[in-house]
């Protein structure tokens, strides 16, 4: 639908609703459950230099208004992804974004260099919520200097647009959004999950194997909206909104807050076709909102 079409970072999206990283596998696993060709885009699960087995089970726990997870970034490694997964995604006419992570800047750079030579990718999304093990275990996303250095290094090596996925586990999001922009990011996406803990009172232990986990889903949506609005007001590059989106109206809220695109994650656990459904609901909502194109909503929030 032309009313939903978006152009972000030079990439044409048929609609502004993408499947988020970490909840949609490599995309191809959902071929029989969702209309991949109708999605705005697919952000594949995080890719590392070498395969990672992930955290001990249980890895997921259903909270009252969302979900906690601690998968541990399990993945096949970037080379296996390029050889085995990416060619299968080429069958679908949808932009594919590779989520990239590492434990030191050179890890990110190496993954991006491998991906540079692979056809069929639209952009890279950097997960900066990983511990920087060479500098005291601090996550890149909560240290401005580390974030800036990382983004600059990756941008220098990248042959495609670089999107930086920001952590919400900070006192203020605006400085990190600005650092990402100033260091060369083509866009930012937010938010990643909030660090949480769920305790089983009978065993007195954690409900997920790794202890702490990431909280996602409807419970975080109001905070995600606030942070997207703050980040969008701090930068001039495009913003991609993430956090608790499960209806077309939710997507519209994020666009009004300043997002150009949105990513849907947790909702795909109970509705694998959620990104397509949400895009259709957004399209049906546009006449009621008095606009012809979804892009006209971006940044339209009216302050009190």
- The residues carrying an active-site annotation are 130
Distance CA 236, CA 107 (A): 28
If one counts every other C-beta atom within 10 angstroms of the C-beta of residue 281, the result is: 17
Task: Tokens for 192, please give them.
Answer: 């990643």
State whether residue 82 is helix, strand or coil.
Answer: helix
Cis upstream peptide for 297 (omega within 30°) = no
State whether residue 255 is helix, strand or coil.
Answer: helix
Query: For residue 59, what are the β-bridge partners?
Result: none
Q: Which residue is listed with tokens 């594949």? A: 44
DSSP-derived letter for residue 55 is: P
Confirm if 272 and 23 have CB atoms less than 8 A apart: no
């Amino acid at each position: 639908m032309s009313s939903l079409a978006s152009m972000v970072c030079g990439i044409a999206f048929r609609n502004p609703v993408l499947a988020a990283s970490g909840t949609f596998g490599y995309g191809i696993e959902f071929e029989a459950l969702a209309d991949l060709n109708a999605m705005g885009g697919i952000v594949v699960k995080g890719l590392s230099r070498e395969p990672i087995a992930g955290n001990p089970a249980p890895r997921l726990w259903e909270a009252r208004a969302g979900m906690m997870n601690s998968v541990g970034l399990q993945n096949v490694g970037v080379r296996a992804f390029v050889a085995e997964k990416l060619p299968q995604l080429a069958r679908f006419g949808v932009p594919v974004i590779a989520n990239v992570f590492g434990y030191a800047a050179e890890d990110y750079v190496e993954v991006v260099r491998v991906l540079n030579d692979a056809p069929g990718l639209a952009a890279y999304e950097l997960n900066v919520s990983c511990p920087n093990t060479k500098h005291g275990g601090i996550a890149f996303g909560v240290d401005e200097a580390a974030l800036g250095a990382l983004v600059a290094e990756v941008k220098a090596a990248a042959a495609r647009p670089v999107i930086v996925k920001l952590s919400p586990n900070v006192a203020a999001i605006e400085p990190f959004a600005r650092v990402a922009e100033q260091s060369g990011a083509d866009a930012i996406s937010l938010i990643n999950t909030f660090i949480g803990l769920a305790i089983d009172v009978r065993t007195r232990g954690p409900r997920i194997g790794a202890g702490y986990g990431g909280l996602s889903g409807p419970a975080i949506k109001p905070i995600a909206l606030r942070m997207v609005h703050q980040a969008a007001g701090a930068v001039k590059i495009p913003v991609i909104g993430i956090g608790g989106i499960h209806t077309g109206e939710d997507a519209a809220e994020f666009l009004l807050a300043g997002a150009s695109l949105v990513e849907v994650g947790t909702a795909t656990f109970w509705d694998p076709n959620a990104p397509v459904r949400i895009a259709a609901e957004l399209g049906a909502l546009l006449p009621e909102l008095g606009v012809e194109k979804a892009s006209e909503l971006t940044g339209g929030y009216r302050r009190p």
